Structure formats: structure tokens, C-alpha cells
Structure 1
Amino acid sequence: MKIFRSGCLMRTTHVILSWLTTLVLFLHNTDLRKCEESGELLQPVLFGLVVLLSVLMYFTVSLMDPGFVLSDSESQSTLEYDEEQEKMLPHSERSQGHRRCGYCLLLQPMRARHCKECKQCVRRYDHHCPWIENCVGERNHKWFLLYLCVQLLAVSWGLQYAWSGITFASTWQQWFIQNSFLLGALGVTGIFSVVVLLLLCIHLYLAAINTTTWEFMSPHRITYLKPCDSEENPFDRGVICNLWDFFCVCQTVAWERVYSRRTKDAV
């Protein structure tokens, strides 16, 4: 299948890095190895399970449908909202959610965007992530954030174990030789810890204000955001409601209705 072929290299690289780094931590004189040798298996088992969970979460986010728009009929069901609400809007804003994609020619719901890499329109498009070789959109954004949480736990825990295994030597050359594999593990876990932490903070903030990376970075290029002030977000319902909707609402959202209510209240 195309979905497996397109990201095969990235997914293989992720699996190899995850398990190779884990193997290095188990084989060298780290706190993980010391627990294993002393018969205290709780930490090694938990660490192994966290790494396994991070790999499974990676494949879940990578292979699942991010919210592809498949047909006009599917889009039309979310574009139909109360006519009375629509009449209260300025004429220039009445049909901002109704547009056809210039690439796939499908009717595009509000907050959707065409991904050139995936060659499809994605609902509530956030960004195309090259690491997972998939878009982050309405259906998998929450899973992407949960994956970042698990991945951060795995790499930060691995960073601690890698540091615990570093030993001293009489010369720099001897020190580098005896710690070379651990230094590699330290570099991988250190870099990924910083990157994943930054991504996690960014996406938690975006979820809290109910916006996307695309909307946050390019509001001047998005039709339905141009009438809004620079600080105004027509989809923001407050931090608590935004986070509840983000994590707990699983159905497709008709963003045209949310937009029309907010705009009507502002008029």
C-alpha cells in the first residue's frame, strides 16, 4: 500500500534508533544494567514498556487518517449551518468556508488545507510532519500530542540512563573509546529530548488557544482570518473548553458554525 511505501525509510529509521539506543543502554554499565544485574527488574521492564509504547504511538500517528477530505458530499455535511446566522454576517464573509481546492478540486471545509506531500485536503490542517511522514490534522492531532508526551518520557529517561553509564579514564582517547556507544546514545536522547520538549510545549499552547500551526504562522494568508484582528481568534472558547474539545471531542466539527456564532456575537 502507498501509505506504507511513502514513509518506509523514516519509520524504519525511527524503529532502528529507538531499539538500538535501548540496546546500548541495556548492554553498558548504566543504572539500567545495574538494576538488571541486582535482580531489580521493575525499572528495566518499565523502561522497555515505555519505549515499546512510544514506537506503537509513533506508528499509530504515522499511519492513521489525519482527517482527509474524501468527497464533496462529506464536506457539504459540515458546511450547512443555520441560514439565519448566515444572514447576520456581512455579505463578504458569508461563504468564506465554501471554496474549492485548487489542487484536488474538492469542496474544502473551513480550517482545511491541501497538503502537497499527501496530495489531499486535510480537515483542521496543522502541518505536515516529515518525521512521521503524515499530516497532523483533526483526527490525529491529539494522538500526535500524546505521542510527544510518551516520546519525551522515553528519551528523557534514556538520557538519564546514558549519563549514568559514562565512566572516566586516564586519557581522552581511552575515555572516548570506552564511552563511544554511550556518547552516541547520549547525543540521540539529548537532541530528541530538546526537540520533543519544544514541540510538546508549542502544541499544548496551540491546543489551549484552539488554533493550528498553519493558522498561527500565516493568518494573513487565510481568508476567514483576514477580517479578524491580529489578536482575535474566532475559534477560541477559553483554555478549559479548548482543551476539553481538543482531547475529548472525537467527532468531526463544523467549524463554519463556530465561526458564524463568534462573528455574529462580535457584530
Structure 2
Amino acid sequence: MPLWAPAGGGWAARAAQTGLSWGVTAGLFLHGTDLQRQIEQGDLLQPFLFISLVLCSVILYFVVSLMNPGYVEDNEDEKGPPDGDQKATLFPQVPNVRLRRCGYCMVKQPLRAKHCQACQHCVHRFDHHCPWIENCIGERNHPLFVLYLGVQLGVLLWALQVAWSGLNFQQFSWAWLQRNLVLLLSFLLIIVCTVVAMLLLASHLYLVSCNTTTWEFMSRHRISYLKHCKVENPFDQGVFVNLWRFFCACRLMAWEKLYPTEESDLV
């Protein structure tokens, strides 16, 4: 399976993300903020760390955006386990598990996979299609997506403090507004983005700790392997195991092995 997804469209969103990141960063340095004062005083450590953190968030954004989220290949069901490792088999021989074929691309879907209409691919452990990332969030790039949200939230919180340091509302006047309009708009934009990033990170960490996905959480009543299952979440193995599998497992998981045997004929 290729590491990188076809770039295709989506460059408008990627250009907007890059432009906003570096545009707001430049605005924080060009106004009378703590970062500008530190540069004037010759103290370059914090400005350097701030730019490095912004650069890290931009790089993570592009990695998640361009990475293969875990597309299901046509011949996966015919592949044997690499190097004789039965645990790495994508389609284990679990009794009575019936894997359906996708009605769009006709590949055999592993458990928890879903076809994305935007990407025109079936994706392993599909979470959602993110229009801002312009890519699906699936089993391969979901951990990096959560890491990106964490780094982005750190950048936004720091930028919020820096922007606030440059605003002195005690001197508010029309001339002050004209002089600080860009910084004020940046401050408001940072507040909105901080709230969104915080909500996204909290929701994804909760879902990860339960070993469920956004799609499964929102559409449980429509997903055959969940609505017919007597267990609330057949993939939940406890918070610590769920987190370890999510962040530390470096391969696609065979979720069919965790599905209750007595329910397997309903998959």
C-alpha cells in the first residue's frame, strides 16, 4: 500500500491553511507584542521556539493531508501475512464473518471500513472526511491527525497570549483601532480557531479512548455490525489498551478478531 495518497484537488484549502498560519505569525511579529519586544532586546529563544512550533504544525498538516489514510486495495483479501506473521493478516480466517463488497468500488471491505464519496476509495477504520485537511481520516493517518490537533492547539494558545500582549484596550480610540486592526482581527480569529481545535481534540481523544470512530459514534443505528451487536462497543478493550493500539500499533489491525463470534454472521 503506497504511503502517500494522490494529491488531487484540495490545494485551495492547503494554501489557505499555510497562508493563515504564516500570515497570523507575521502579524504577531510586526506589532508591539511580546515576541517583537523580545527580538528588539536580542532575546531570540522564544521567537525561535514559536516559529519552530508553527513550522511543526504546518508540516504535520501537510503530512496528514497528503498521506494515504488507509485505502483498501483490490487484492488485500488475496494477500498472505507478511513474513509468516499471522497477526498481520488483513483478512483473518474468523468463522462465519461475512465481509461485504463495496457497492461503489467493488473491493471487499474489512470490518470498520467505509467508502468515502469524496475520495472515491474505501478506507480502513474510516473516521471522517475532513474538508479542511482535504483528505480522509482513517487508520493510517488518524494518530497523526490527533497529534496535529494537539500541536495546533499549543500554537493557538501561545499565539492567543502573544496577541493579547500587543493589545492595550485602555488606550482605545479610532487611531488605536486603525493601528491595531490587523492584530485585533488576528486575535479574534485565534479565539475561534482555539475553541474549534480544543473541541476537536477533546472529542477525538474521547473516541480514541473508547476505540470508536466519528462515523461509528454518529451512525451506530445504520451500521450493520453495530446495530445488531448485543455488545455496546465490541472493539473496546479498556482505555489503556485502546490508546496503546491507536498510538503505538504500526500496522493495520484485524478488527474481525475482536468481533463477538456469536454476532459474526451479521457482519
Both proteins in one fold, TM over 0.5: yes
Q: 1:78 aligns with which of 79, 82, 90?
A: 90
Aligned length: 252
Deviation at 1:192, TM superposition (A): 0.8
Counterpart of 1:51 in 2: which secondary structure?
helix
| Structure 1 contact 75–107 (Cα < 8 Å) conserved | no
Q: Distance in 1 between matches of 2:232 and 2:15?
A: 42
Distance, in Å, in 2 between the alignment partners of 1:170 and 1:155 is 26
What displacement does 1:95 show?
Answer: 3.2
What is the identity, as a one-letter code, of the residue corresponding to 1:252? L
1:202 aligns with 2:203: yes
SS of equivalent residue, structure 1 residue 78: coil
- 2:250 is matched with 250
- Separation in structure 2 between the aligned mates of residue 226 and residue 2 of structure 1, nearest angstrom: 32
CA shift in 2, pair 1:261/1:250, >3 Å: farther
Q: Hey, what does 2:226 align to over in structure 1?
A: 225
Report the CA distance shift for 1:175/1:247 in structure 2 as closer, same or farther (over 3 A). Answer: same
User: In the TM superposition, what is the alpha-carbon distance from 1:232 to its structure 2 partner?
Assistant: 1.0
The alpha-carbon distance between structure 1 residues 205 and 2, as it changes in their structure 2 partners (threshold 3 A), is closer
Structure 1 residue matching 2:97: 3-state secondary structure: coil
Q: Percent identity, please.
A: 50
Does the CA contact (< 8 Å) of 2:5 and 2:68 recur in 1?
no
Q: Determine if contact 1:69/1:75 at 8 Å carries over to the other structure.
A: no
Secondary structure of the 2:150 match is helix
Q: 1:124 — aligned with what?
A: 125
Amino acid at match of 1:178: R
Q: Could you say which residue in structure 2 is the equivalent of 1:236?
A: 236
- The answer as to 2:147 corresponding to 1:146 is yes
Tell me the equivalent position of 2:39.
36
**1:169 and 1:160 mapped to 2: Cα distance?**
17
1:196-253: CA deviation from partner (whole Å, max 9, x where unpaired): 0000000000100000000001111111001224x71000000000000000001111
Between 35-44 and 139-148, report the one with greater CA deviation. Answer: 35-44
Distance in 1, matches of 2:41 and 2:241, equals 48
Q: Which has the higher helix share?
A: 1
Tell me which moved more, 211-220 or 65-74. Answer: 65-74
**2:50 is aligned with 1:47:** yes
2:110 equivalent in structure 1: 109
